Amino acid sequence: MLKNILKRVKFRKNLRKKKEYEKEFYTIESKLKLINKKLKKKEISFLHSGHLGDIINSLPAIKEIAKNRKCNLYIDSKKYLNLGTHSSGKFFLNENSINKLLPLLNSIDYINKVQLYKKEKIDIDLNLFRELPINFNMDSVRWYFHLTGIHNQLSLPYINVEKVKIFENSIVIMRSLIRQNKFINYKFINKYENILFVGLPDEYKDLKKSIKNMKYHECKNFLELARIIKSCKIFIGNLSFGFALAEAVKCPRLLETHLDFPLIYPNGKDSYDFFFQEHFESLFKKIYNKKLAS
């Protein structure tokens, strides 16, 4: 008797979830139809409010759309509260992040105009990806494909920057304090030279405990950061803005994958992700030795 009651309770609960999901689905579907109409315009204005990596991940879709349309991008600050722990504080973007991001976005040739949002008329709000009734464990670049219906080739770069010769032999690392794989350690990298950390000072101090000969470089903005990452022999990062940039410029790269929330998947040549230490070390040697031979 109790077993049957529990079955009925579970059935009703699942039915309510299904109805809520269907309502959510039909609500977003009407917004997607409006986006489809806006995509027929000759000039389109996009809005994004961050995080930093989310903005970078929206670029493949914008690049494809920009092939036969003029695209403008507006960056909104302090609109969406971030309830989790993040380097930008309680907002998705802070003033410092925006000031560092704008030089990079302004260097992108397929974007007609990049500006801070001041209540301009917007055609497509890219923040709507947060409302999509999907499993967000998919490759985060693809969120915007499903939002716009426009897909792009992810094996090709979508940020083109010049290389900096002095960083060509560098092992560049950017590892955030959140979403670290606690089964991974970086101590084996100590036997290599030219190791450079380009993240935040507290992130550097954390990893410096494992890599004693690692040096720190503070970038004046994210255009400089993108150029350093593009130039390096190999880039290593976890689920952070740094790896989003590495994906965008398509340098040789390794992704330290978080066990619970993968979210990012490397696309293209000389790009791999790893869960386990043995694979981390073998993939590192594979890329490093390949670059050494070239």
Q: Is 217 helix (H, G, I), strand (E, B) or coil?
A: coil
CB atoms closer than 10 angstroms to residue 262: 17
Q: What percent of the chain has pLDDT over 90?
A: 72
pLDDT at 25: 63
Q: Is the pLDDT of residue 9 over 80?
A: no
Torsion of CA 259, 261, 267, 273, to 10 degrees: -10
Domains in the chain, ordered, with CATH? Answer: 2-148 (no CATH), 165-293 (3.40.50.2000)
At 234, the pLDDT band (50, 70, 90 cuts) reads: very high
Mean pLDDT value across the chain: 89
Q: Is the pLDDT of residue 177 over 60?
A: yes
Q: Is 271 helix (H, G, I), strand (E, B) or coil?
A: strand
Q: Is 75 helix (H, G, I), strand (E, B) or coil?
A: strand
Q: Which two tokens stand for residue 240?
A: 């952070």
Q: Find the mean pLDDT for residues 120-133.
A: 92
pLDDT at 89: 53
Q: Is the pLDDT of residue 10 over 80?
A: no
Q: Which of 264, 265, 270 is nearest to 284 (CA)?
A: 270
